[in-house]
């Protein structure tokens, strides 16, 4: 049968060739217009550069996806589930981890697809006839950075992963490969960062916005080294703090099993210092005159590039991408937005009072006015009941001429019935506008959301910061604290405090470490930091493992006051604030959550993979 088919095929081919030979045979050898062959790509500098451009797509929209990593922490809660609930409830497994495998920023398959592209690039780049060798050098630097970035995404999510530096073909008989040790992975990433720096050194001026730079590679190196030095990745420490970690099948895949921690901290400190010594970046808006100015500055910091932007993902409102829709995904349902990632009461409570003391529900003045006199960054990051926001959409405007966030329930006078009724706010799950979307927590994200864009219809152009200078200062301060250099740590932490309009730290030792950890939570909220920080610090059980909390706000009319259209007003209303535990996401912490599970399907394809502990 096969033979017969082949004969038929050949004879048709011959007949065809004879028929057209009288005319012109060129059209038989056309190249597809939508694709280019491998040989063409590596003979054409423009195509080679286009190949590199695509590798950047592994960055996705950065942290600006509909399901934000912050909702797998105590920062926010994701309203629509989408597999996010399994993260908070610690019910992800090798066979069911929707967020990890399909929605997050560190998807295994996606990262390896781009790592392969990097390897294909290195296999072929020598062939490309660049006019200026500088272009080829720059592309090499970018690809080294990208490969390091993708490995760092895998390593901080899964621990040590297979280090693939070959370009597999269809003819290979064996695709199985072991997970490399944590230490080898860190060295691989560091080496790629160093190579990137070598090729990108002093080229900033010629590099287009959004591409990798020397500074980006150095900041990445700083980050991976501060992770590497942390508790979770020092096996003796991790083992002592967690029985699940102690039972790890191959501890060297997750942590250093030997070696000197002090040296690791010193190396991390040096890597951070190297970025600082570049002199290319600085804290933006370093010295505000008033708390209000500090608040306005902080909001502005996350709406556009500034002196501390090291590596960011940019968006155009003309291009349909997730990253431009952060306002739509997270905005208030009373603005026809989707209320996706909503700040939790746990986060709100972690904002200090403006004098640097802790907020405390037990204190009568705090409970009576929880949103008064808080850290200026609170007002720039969070929309709470009564907070001013942009113009309401036309169909809702008449219900709220004051344009204020409404997450409470308020008494109003109903003239027809001649009585007082309870009216749920516009931005609640009982309100009149798309209430199935409303926030469960009673708060909304403000940071990163452009107030000048009507997110219902338009996309915003706010960049996502993968690396900003503040993180490098935090890395430096963290290493200093661990090395006992508290004075040096305070100096840099207090630059961040001053910029925020908050009083300086004076603590030392464990107290300083605790303040540093809270400071990073607040300053870098929604920036994909905390998910990893609480793990490597091994404070997850007492932070992200806490029960989810939200707020009930009730506005009661004062005696003899008749208000028919609600607006926040302390003359007319008595407000009460009651924090509540939210039961629809039953958050707990299990130690398996320190690392994400490897997919069972992938383990079935590669029997050398060892599962992470606790799964």
Partner 1 sequence: MYEARIPNPYISWEVANNYNVGLDGALLNGKIYFELDAFMNKRSGILVRRNASVPQTTGMTLPAENIGKVDNKGFEFRIGYNNTVGTKFRYDVSVNGGYSKNKIVFWDEAPGAPVWQRSTGMPMNTALYYEYDGVFKDYAEIDKNTVDYSALTNNLRPGDMKFKDIDGNGKINGDDKIRYNKSSQPTFTGGLNVNLQYSNFDFALLVQGATGGALHINTESGEIGNFTQDYFDHRWSPDNPSSVDPRVNDRNDTYWATGNTYWVRSTNYVRLKNLEIGYSIPEFLKKKAGITNLRIYANCLNLFTIDNLKILDPESVNGNGQYYPQSRVLNAGFNLTF
Which residues lie near partner 1 (CB under 8 A)?
1-2, 5, 9, 35-36, 38, 41, 47, 50-51, 53-54, 81, 85, 89-91, 93-96, 108-109, 112-117, 119-120, 161-162, 164, 168-170, 172, 175-177, 436, 584, 586, 588, 590, 600-607
Shortest spacing between CB 295 and partner 1, in angstroms: 35
Round to whole Å and give the CA distance between 211 and 313: 9
Question: Residue 17 has which token pair?
Answer: 């060739």
Instruction: Write down the least CB distance from residue 169 to partner 1, Å.
Output: 7
Nearer to partner 1, 285 or 589 (CB): 589
CA–CA separation, 178 and 606 (whole Å)? 9
Nearer to partner 1, 169 or 571 (CB): 169
Report in angstroms how near the CB of residue 399 gets to partner 1 at its nearest. Answer: 21
> How far is the C-alpha of 45 from the C-alpha of 132, rounded, in Å?
10
In the bound state with partner 1, the residue whose beta carbon lies nearer, of 91 and 569, is 91
Angle at alpha carbon of residue 456, lines to 452 and 459, rounded to 5° = 60
Q: At what angle do helices 261-277 and 214-228 cross, to 10 degrees?
A: 160
Q: Residues in the chain, how many?
A: 615
The residue among 113 and 556 lying less far from partner 1, judged by its C-beta, is 113
158 versus 531: smaller Cβ distance to partner 1: 158
Considering the complex, what minimum distance in angstroms separates the CB of residue 132 from partner 1?
A: 20
Nearer to partner 1, 88 or 323 (CB): 88
CB of 288 to partner 1, least distance (A): 43
In terms of CB distance, is 117 or 477 closer to partner 1?
A: 117
> How many CB atoms sit inside 10 A of residue 368's CB?
12
Gap between the Cα atoms of 185 and 163, Å rounded: 7
Backbone angles phi, psi at 36, to 5 degrees: -125, 150
Nearest distance in Å: CB 486, partner 1 = 40
Q: Which residue has the tokens 């102690």?
A: 246
Beta strands in 446-523 (DSSP E): 464-468
Provide the 10 A C-beta neighbour count for residue 53: 12
**At its nearest, how many Å lie between partner 1 and the CB of residue 604?**
3
Nearest to 513 by CA among 536, 546, 480: 480
End-to-end CA distance of the chain: 50
Q: What distance in Å separates the CA atoms of residue 315 and residue 461, rounded to the nearest whole number?
A: 5
Closest approach of partner 1 to the CB of residue 41, in Å: 6
DSSP letters spanning 140-190? HHHHHHHHHHHHHHHHHHHSS-----S---TT-S----PPPPHHHHHHHHH
Choose between 106 and 371: whose C-beta lies nearer to partner 1. 106
């Amino acid at each position: 049968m096969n033979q017969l088919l082949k004969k038929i095929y050949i004879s048709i081919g011959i007949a065809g060739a004879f028929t057209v030979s009288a005319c012109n045979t060129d059209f038989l050898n056309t190249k597809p217009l939508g694709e280019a062959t491998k040989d063409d790509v590596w003979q054409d500098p423009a195509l080679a550069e286009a190949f590199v451009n695509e590798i950047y797509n592994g960055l996705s929209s950065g942290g600006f996806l509909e399901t934000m990593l912050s909702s797998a922490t105590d920062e926010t809660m994701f309203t629509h589930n989408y597999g996010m609930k399994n993260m908070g409830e610690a019910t992800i497994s090798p066979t069911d981890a929707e967020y990890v495998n399909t929605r997050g920023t560190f998807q295994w398959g996606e990262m390896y697809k781009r790592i392969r592209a990097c390897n294909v690039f290195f296999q072929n780049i020598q062939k490309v006839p660049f006019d200026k060798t500088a272009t080829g050098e720059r592309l090499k630097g970018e690809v080294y950075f990208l490969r390091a970035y993708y490995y760092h995404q895998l390593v901080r999510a899964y621990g040590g992963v297979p280090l693939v530096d070959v370009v597999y073909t269809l003819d290979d008989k064996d695709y199985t490969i072991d997970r490399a040790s944590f230490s080898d992975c860190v060295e691989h990433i560091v080496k790629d960062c160093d190579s990137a720096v070598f090729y990108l050194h002093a080229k900033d001026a010629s590099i287009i916005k959004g591409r990798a730079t020397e500074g980006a590679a150095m900041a990445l190196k700083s980050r991976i080294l501060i992770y590497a030095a942390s508790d979770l990745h020092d096996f003796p420490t991790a083992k002592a703090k967690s029985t699940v970690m102690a039972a790890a099948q191959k501890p060297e895949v997750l942590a250093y099993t030997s070696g000197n921690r002090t040296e690791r901290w010193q190396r991390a400190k040096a890597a951070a210092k190297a970025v600082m010594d570049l002199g290319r970046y600085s804290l933006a808006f370093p010295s505000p005159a008033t708390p209000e100015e500090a608040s306005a500055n902080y909001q502005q910091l996350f709406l556009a590039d500034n002196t501390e932007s090291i590596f960011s993902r940019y968006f155009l409102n003309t291009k349909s991408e997730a990253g431009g829709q952060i306002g739509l995904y997270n905005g208030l349902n009373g603005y026809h937005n989707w209320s996706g990632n909503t700040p939790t009461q746990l986060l709100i409570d972690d904002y200090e009072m403006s004098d640097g003391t802790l907020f405390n529900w037990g204190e009568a003045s705090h409970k009576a006015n929880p949103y008064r006199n808080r850290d200026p960054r609170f007002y720039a990051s969070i929309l709470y009941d009564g907070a001013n926001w942009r113009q309401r959409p036309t169909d809702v405007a008449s219900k709220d001429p004051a344009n204020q966030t409404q997450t409470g329930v308020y008494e109003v006078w109903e003239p027809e019935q001649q009585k007082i009724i309870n009216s749920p706010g516009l931005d609640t799950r009982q309100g009149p506008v798309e209430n199935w979307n409303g926030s469960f927590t009673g708060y909304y994200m403000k940071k990163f959301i452009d107030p000048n864009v009507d997110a219902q219809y338009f996309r915003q152009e706010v960049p996502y910061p993968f690396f900003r200078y503040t993180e490098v200062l935090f890395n430096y301060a963290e290493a200093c604290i661990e090395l006992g250099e508290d004075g040096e740590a305070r100096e840099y932490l207090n630059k961040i405090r001053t910029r925020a309009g908050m009083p300086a730290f004076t603590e030392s030792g464990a107290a300083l470490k605790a303040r540093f950890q809270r400071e990073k939570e607040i300053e870098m909220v929604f920036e994909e930091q905390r998910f990893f920080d609480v793990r490597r610090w091994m404070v997850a059980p007492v932070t992200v493992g806490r029960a989810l909390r939200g707020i009930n706000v009730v506005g009661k009319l004062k005696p003899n006051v008749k208000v028919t259209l609600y607006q926040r007003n302390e003359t007319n209303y008595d407000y009460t604030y009651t924090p509540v535990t939210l039961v629809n996401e039953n958050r707990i912490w299990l130690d398996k959550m320190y690392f994400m599970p490897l997919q069972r399907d992938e383990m079935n394809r590669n029997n050398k993979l060892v599962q992470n502990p606790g799964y």
